[in-house]
A and B are shown apart, each in its own frame.
Chain A
Amino acid sequence: MKREEQLVVKIENGTVIDHIPSSKLFEVINLLHLEEIKESAVVIGYNLESKKFGRKSLIKVFNKYFTDAELNLLSVVAPNVTLCIIKNFEVVEKKKVVMPKEVRGIVKCANPKCITNNEPMETVFHSNGEEKHTLTCHYCSKEQSLEGLKLVN
């Protein structure tokens, strides 16, 4: 059987975001504002077979490179994605996302009694390091796992 991934076209220049958990695909699309890209193509592979992950998703964005700050936002929803920078059909750089020390305005606090859920204000979280996979709310101090977090609307 032909590998499903090969069904997704190769790109000449742009960014490939791979190993996205399928359940997080739409959050990744939101975080990078892919729906706002007007001039170039975005190819999305959903629920592809993967040796390591069972099922995964990937996104190929033509002719666009993201800043590290933009890419690091992904660490909150999908910390294990891999990023490839493609130039002339070649991978010129591979990156891992890095959890920022402070996460502002991206995710909601899971504590319904937190001030951030009851006042029009920006959420702020402090990262507890790469290996812990948790964020601590700056306001209510509740530590919460990345898996449970929802994006702010």
Chain B
Amino acid sequence: MKHSLVTIANLTKEKIEYLVEMAQEFEKYPNRKILEGKVLATLFFEPSTRTRLSFETAANRLGARVIGFTDPKVTSSTKGETLKDTIIMVGGYADIIVMRHYLEGAALYASEVAPVPVVNAGDGANQHPTQTMLDLYSIYKTQGTLENLNIHLVGDLKYGRTVHSLLMAMRHFNPTFHFIAPKELAMPEEYKQYCREHGIKFVEHEDFNEDIISQADILYMTRVQRERFTDLMEYERVKDVYVLKAAMLEKAKENMRILHPLPRVNEIAYDVDEDPHAYYFQQAKNGLYAREAIICDALGLTIEDVRNDKTIIL
């Protein structure tokens, strides 16, 4: 059975837990030949080196071969070929398509027309479910559970699609969110409404200090980008407020971990890297295991297949 992964919003609690469990199997043994003979296509209609490298590493470590493109200028989409034609053609070559696109809904449409499973590696401002899966896996790994956690989201909560997807995926697990953002980049009303409809508790803050941090189990940092501001005076006023420094971690809980989707610019000071709460580089590495699980699940392999896999390379 082919399972496209387009959005995290409609995954059940069981499915999320299943994929987390599967990622754990891959973390135990990341190198295998379980996908030997398969071809994975990475179609990046918009460049994203990090995400592409993570997927291609995952495919390579499982024995699959990779085809694809990264620069839209070299493909025929500039010659007026429709997305549908490109997807059907590539679907004739590859066993699975990983795609990133600048248009919203592109991945869902591709999954409807493709003869093979499609994994969404980001479609405009819309969805980036594999990022969310690696975030969930990182939370699970560091806290030992996804249930009843205090999750502090910091920075750009208006445009940051990773925080929106995380919010929706966590609805199954009784979290308490703290939204910490400047007014201009506050959590949009539609997501607060989503929280109310799904019984998700949330608190809003404009301040970002060690007392607020002291309650967190997860401190999820995001970039505050200059180009997001209509009022540059406001940007100048807040740009240093949402920067995390090691000194702010003195009251932090021991289990607290700092996540960031990377790349960071200056929102996490370099002195935090040495702090035991820093987790963002391991988080990126977890992306490999999460994507190994997602690719195998999309291709119809079950957790039993992964557990009984005889192709492990030790």
Interface residues, chain A, with chain B CB atoms under 8 Å away: 111, 113-116, 118-121, 137-143
Contact = CB atoms under 8 A, between A and B. Distances in A.
B105 A137 contact: yes
B82 A139 contact: no
Contact of A119 (B9, B109, B123, B124): B109
A107 to B, nearest CB: 15
Given A115-B103, A115-B106, A119-B103, 17 more contacts: A111-B104, A113-B102, A113-B103, A114-B104, A114-B105, A115-B83, A115-B101, A115-B123, A119-B82, A119-B84, A119-B109, A121-B84, A137-B105, A139-B104, A139-B109, A141-B104, A143-B190
A116 B190 contact: no
B185 interface: no
A119 B126 contact: no
Nearest to B9: A141
Contacts of B106: 115, 139
A115 B190 contact: no
Contacts, number: 48
A140 B104 contact: yes
26 contacts: A113-B103, A113-B124, A113-B125, A114-B104, A114-B105, A115-B83, A115-B104, A115-B105, A115-B106, A115-B109, A116-B105, A116-B109, A119-B82, A119-B83, A119-B103, A119-B109, A120-B82, A121-B109, A139-B104, A139-B105, A139-B108, A139-B109, A140-B104, A140-B105, A141-B104, A141-B105
A143 B189 CA distance: 13
A125 B140 CA distance: 35
Contact of A114 (B7, B9, B83, B103): B103
Interface centre among A116, A118, A137 (most CB of B within 10 A): A118
A98 B311 CA distance: 57
Contacts of B126: 140-141
A139 B105 CA distance: 4
Nearest to B101: A115
A142 B108 CA distance: 14
Nearest to A121: B109
A45 to B, nearest CB: 40
